[in-house]
Amino acid sequence: MMKILLVEDNPELTQNILQYLTQEGILCETATTCYEAEDRLLAFAYDCVLLDLMLPDGNGLDLLQLIKSQGMKTSVLIISAKDALDDRLRGLDLGADDYLPKPFHLAELLARLRAIYRRSKLEGSDELRFGEILIRIQSLEAFVHDKALDLTKKEFDLLVFLMVNKNKVLSKQSIATHLWGDYTDDLANFDFVYQHIKNLRKKICAAGGKDYLSTVYGLGYKFDENAS
């Protein structure tokens, strides 16, 4: 089971993240200040730290430096509203594993977290399985009933994203942001997501897979285990 420390001073945001990650079976502890986080980091071991940079008693980057200087075996995912580029670069320079600018979609956070976890802990065995669907992330391969699927890069990304966030409703926006990045997320309003989903569904079904993808009242899409 993955165990993480969430360092974030906004209680509402903390609650949102906590709820989403806990549902996914991730053990989540929280700290609201640098001081508190330092305490916890020195006392317990975590797989990953979700680190906000603007904290009431200091900059999260100092915490990152502490983690690296102490040689702690924890990954760091920076979540910051300061999308100032320098912070992004500095964070990555200091050894952060990833940088997710606020505001992010919870689904995106989970996907990044899983990716970091796979890289750092599950070396090699980067397989995702979902019923008859098997994905090898490193080699960008997807199989249905052990038959290789011919997916484009984006379709593959989409499938991973859906599978990591299985049984959750994913908004079109969160999918668009995941696929095309920050400055093109209004592409969600132009039916591109729908067409990608449609193509992916077609390919899975053609390979004999079950149709797990469902639409939820125009809100978004869901990769549903219990799909009929």
Partner 1 sequence: MRLLNLLTAIYLLLTLGALVLGGFFIYLKLESEIEFEVGNELKDQIDAYAARIQSGVDPKDLENEKLEIQNLPFHFDEEELVIRDTMAYHEPVNRIEKQLKASKSLKINGKHYRISYFNLVIEADDIMETVVYIMLLVLLVQLLVIGFFFRRIANRILLPFQNTLNRIQSFSFQKDEPLSFEKSKIREFNQLNSFLERMSIKLLRDYRQIKEFSENISHEIQTPSAVVRGKLEHLMNQEITEEQAHLIHSAYQSNEKIQRIVKSLSLLAKLENEEFEAPVPIKLDLLIRRNLEHLHELMQLRQIRLEIDLKSDYSVPMHPYIAEVMVTNLLSNAIKHNQERGWIMVLLQNDKLEILNSGQRLSKNPEDLMDRFQKESSHPDSVGLGLAIVHQICKTYGFQFSYSHKDQVHHTAVSFR
Query: Which residues of this chain interact with partner 1, rule CB under 8 A?
Result: 10, 12-13, 16-17, 19-20, 54, 81-85, 102-107, 152, 154, 168-169, 171, 173-174, 180-190, 192, 195-196, 199, 216-220
Nearer of residues 70 and 195 to partner 1, judged by Cβ: 195
Task: Please state the closest distance from residue 92 (CB atom) to partner 1, in A.
Answer: 14
Nearer of residues 41 and 151 to partner 1, judged by Cβ: 151
Task: At 18, list the tokens.
Answer: 């906590």
Q: From residue 183, give the alpha-carbon distance in Å to each of 176, 196, 197.
A: 10, 19, 21
Nearer of residues 10 and 120 to partner 1, judged by Cβ: 10
Q: From residue 150, give the alpha-carbon distance in Å to each of 8, 87, 201.
A: 41, 39, 12
Distance between CA atoms of 157 and 163, rounded to whole angstroms? 10
Q: Give φ, ψ of 30 to 5 degrees.
A: -125, 155
Task: Please state the closest distance from residue 45 (CB atom) to partner 1, in A.
Answer: 27
Nearer of residues 71 and 103 to partner 1, judged by Cβ: 103
Cα diameter, the chain: 56
* Residue 166: how many other CB atoms lie within 10 Å: 16
Task: Please state the closest distance from residue 123 (CB atom) to partner 1, in A.
Answer: 29
Answer yes or no: are the C-beta atoms of 172 and 161 closer than 8 Å: no
Nearer of residues 120 and 199 to partner 1, judged by Cβ: 199
Task: Please state the closest distance from residue 2 (CB atom) to partner 1, in A.
Answer: 20
Q: For 203, how many CA atoms within 13 A lie in the half-sphere containing its CB?
A: 20
Nearer of residues 45 and 219 to partner 1, judged by Cβ: 219
Residue type, 25: G
Task: Please state the closest distance from residue 160 (CB atom) to partner 1, in A.
Answer: 16
Cα–Cα nearest to 49, from 1, 117, 106, 107: 117
Task: Please state the closest distance from residue 170 (CB atom) to partner 1, in A.
Answer: 9
Answer yes or no: are the C-beta atoms of 28 and 6 closer than 8 Å: yes
